[in-house]
């Protein structure tokens, strides 16, 4: 199968590929968050994902691997390779309107809730209750 062999700053990040891919993509994203979302301001990351060809039930699936944070000066190297096996995706979920599957893993949902908690704690800490 075709896959992406990706290194970040000279270290192996992932060999990303699935047998039934129709789209395989790599994104390097920088985010400038709105004032309310300071947690992500200036955040830069590398992510890999895609979508499958339709299965026997005509259903496609999205898939993705773990995102990697990048810093100023980070070097991302991509090599297109032919492999027998690749690293399994972090998540794979349906892409249709009949059955909605959560695109986030339990660990990701917990992390998002924790970030929300920290933001709320910082906002309300020290306020008098009334």
Written in H, E and C, the secondary structure of 28-87 is EEEECCCHHHHHHCCEEEEEEEEEECCCCCCCCEEEECCCEEECCCCCEEEEEEECCCCE
Cα separation, 63 vs 89, in Å, equals 6
Cα separation, 15 vs 80, in Å, equals 10
Judged against a pLDDT cut of 50, whether residue 112 lies above it is answered with yes
CA pseudo-torsion sign 93, 21, 1, 76: negative
Average of pLDDT values for 30-43? 62
What's the pLDDT at 39? 46
Nearest Cα neighbor of 53 from 42, 62, 65 is: 62
Strand partners, 25: 49
pLDDT in tens, 88-99: 999 898 887 777
What's the pLDDT at 104? 76
Judged against a pLDDT cut of 60, whether residue 108 lies above it is answered with yes
Cα separation, 57 vs 61, in Å, equals 12
Three-class secondary structure of residue 16 per DSSP: strand
What's the pLDDT at 41? 54
pLDDT in tens, 57-105: 888 999 999 889 998 899 999 999 999 999 999 989 888 777 777 777 7
């Amino acid at each position: 199968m075709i896959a992406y062999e990706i290194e970040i700053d000279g270290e192996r990040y992932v060999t990303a590929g699935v047998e039934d891919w129709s789209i395989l993509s790599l994104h390097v994203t920088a985010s400038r968050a709105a004032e309310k979302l300071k947690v992500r301001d200036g955040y830069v990351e590398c992510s890999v994902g895609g979508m499958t060809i339709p299965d026997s039930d005509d259903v496609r699936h999205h898939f993705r691997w773990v995102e990697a944070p990048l810093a100023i000066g980070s070097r991302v190297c991509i090599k297109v390779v032919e492999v027998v096996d690749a690293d399994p995706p972090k998540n794979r979920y349906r892409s249709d309107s009949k059955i909605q599957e959560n695109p986030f893993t339990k660990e990701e949902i917990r992390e998002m809730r924790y970030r929300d908690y920290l933001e709320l704690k910082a906002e309300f800490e020290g306020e008098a209750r009334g």
